[in-house]
Amino acid sequence: MGVAMYALNFLALLFVGAIGLAALVGIILFVIDRTQTEDAIRRNYPVLGRFRHIFSTLGEFFRQYFFAMDREELPFNRAQREWVKRAADDHGNTVAFGSTRNLSVVGTPIFVNAPFPPVDNQFASSEPKVIGAGARVPFTARSFFNLSGMSYGAISKPAVQALSRGCKRAGIWMNTGEGALSPYHLEGGCDIVFQIGTAKYGVRDAEGKLDEDKLRAIAAHDTVRMFEIKLSQGAKPGKGGILPGEKITPEIAKIRGIEVGKDSISPNRHEEVDDWDDLLDMIARVREVTGKPTGIKMVVGSEDGVAGLFTAISERGAASAPDFITLDGGEGGTGAAPMPLIDLVGMSIREALPLVANLRNAHGLRDRIALVASGKLVNPGDVAWALATGADFVTSARGFMFALGCIQALKCNKNTCPTGITTHDPRFQEGLVVADKETRVANYAKEIVKEVETIAHSVGVAEPRLMRRNHVRVVQPDGRTILMSDLWPQSAA
């Protein structure tokens, strides 16, 4: 009994002590909240007002995991993310019972199944396609689906390593993003597209201008196959890249040629490019110095705006054209950008792609300029739509981020990504095991190709690049569908 009473007394003391400590903490928080001037809610409702912030912070978590339906979330819903996860895990992507997609949403593409699709011995794998046949070193791209630009700096070292190795295994190209070429891009041995952003990271001189010697040094790597001059990006058209200072390590600073720990803001455009003729001059310069295919990445704002490019090409001749054009839609992603640009600026890829494909074809440049589509194209239906609309290739960044394990925590602009993908904090990077993630990257790319081929066979063609706009119907406001070839008549090549 004595021991029991002693234990009860001890517990009672602990309980009283806990209440006393809680009361003390409450008094301290009351004083802090009542005297601070930044938050009116906490000032008027000390202590209790703190719960508003807690619930607001947790609300994002609860919506994602408990309350949002499979097709409701943005920027990517659970159904999209789960498809990528299953593909990356090589678990197959068959589903049961029926579609959860609302097929009455205006703009939804519906593929036209053929009454007599090809049988197994009539299928064909997608043929490799040559880009830049007129360059000294043309590039034969093996896959229609590839990795879009993600810079080392915006994403972590193990993320770049996993992507590089996975791209090699899948036979697809990897775009460096505007953050220059790191050893981690090269280590996997995949084909690489080197992106020249407006800050010219990796190929800039002390004044930030294009350094031809550094350009030649990059081109000397056999696996660097093409150069992409970035004019604009979907999530921030008209605004240069933004890399927060806390993500600029000494290594990243050395690779890019910038200062450690200081925000790196790229110019809004290439300062030497004032018009389309200047752009064609820059393309010619890069192609001549490197000997490799050179193209551009851009976001379309209007038909009149981009039509000037094709007029300038026509006046100079087809040889002056970029070898490829990467079209990023206004719905494209990024690690950091102002909300008004993410939400409100730039034409969607759904409108920009058919428009530019028509302009290219109308000027007789279909075989001269390869079109690469980008902008939230992460699932087979998105990729198949783009190929049917006029793209020769499709690239994705966020699809591959999901393959790496991204949970859409929306922390890309901070150094606290919980999956280790967009952080340089060693603690979080430990969670990203390169050997595992490279397999997931390769599986995702292969599954996309496989299922796009399945869609192509369903509409009655042997391989995906044979799909055309008359193979797609688009849902209209009255609930009916019309052929995309009627909505967007296709210009002849």
Model pTM score? 0.84
pLDDT of residue 69: 47
pLDDT of residue 66: 47
Alpha helix positions (H), 112-194: 157-170, 183-186
3-state secondary structure of 437: helix
Residue 447 and residue 84 in contact, taking contact as beta carbons nearer than 8 Å: no
Residue 357 has pLDDT above 50, yes or no: yes
pLDDT of residue 476: 93
Residue-wise pLDDT tens digits, 185-196:
999 999 999 999
CATH for the stretch 120-487? 3.20.20.70
pLDDT of residue 259: 82
Amino acid at 174: M
Residues in CB range of 47: below 8 A, 6 or more apart: 26, 29, 30, 33
Residue 492 has pLDDT above 90, yes or no: no
Residue 387 has pLDDT above 90, yes or no: yes
Residue 447 has pLDDT above 80, yes or no: yes
Q: Picking from 30-44, 74-88, 179-193, which range would have the lowest pLDDT averaged per residue?
A: 74-88
pLDDT of residue 275: 93
Q: Picking from 214-223, 262-271, 476-485, which range would have the lowest pLDDT averaged per residue?
A: 262-271
CB atoms within 10 A of CB 166: 29
CB atoms within 10 A of CB 316: 15
Distance CA 387, CA 365 (A): 17
CA 440 to chain centre: 17
Identify the residue with better confidence: 339 or 287: 287
pLDDT of residue 76: 64
Residue-wise pLDDT tens digits, 289-303:
999 999 999 989 888
Residue 81 and residue 376 in contact, taking contact as beta carbons nearer than 8 Å: no
Residue 177 has pLDDT above 80, yes or no: yes
pLDDT of residue 359: 96
Q: 283-287, long-range: CB within 8 Å, 24+ apart, which pairs?
A: 283/229, 283/320, 283/322, 284/320, 285/210, 286/196, 286/210, 286/215, 286/227, 286/229, 287/132, 287/135, 287/227, 287/323
Q: Between β-strands 139-141 and 393-396, what pairing exists: parallel, antiparallel or unpaired?
A: unpaired
Crossing angle (nearest 10°) for helices 380-389 and 349-362: 30
Q: Picking from 291-295, 418-422, 462-466, 469-473, which range would have the lowest pLDDT averaged per residue?
A: 418-422
* CA-to-CA separations, 308 to 6, 107, 312, 313, 377, in angstroms, rounded: 89, 28, 6, 9, 27
Residue 305 and residue 237 in contact, taking contact as beta carbons nearer than 8 Å: no
* CA-to-CA separations, 231 to 16, 227, 273, 292, in angstroms, rounded: 66, 13, 10, 19
Residue 222 has pLDDT above 60, yes or no: yes
Residue 368 and residue 321 in contact, taking contact as beta carbons nearer than 8 Å: yes
Q: Between β-strands 264-265 and 242-243, what pairing exists: parallel, antiparallel or unpaired?
A: antiparallel
Q: What stretch of H or E contains 382?
A: helix 380-389
Q: Between β-strands 173-175 and 191-196, what pairing exists: parallel, antiparallel or unpaired?
A: parallel
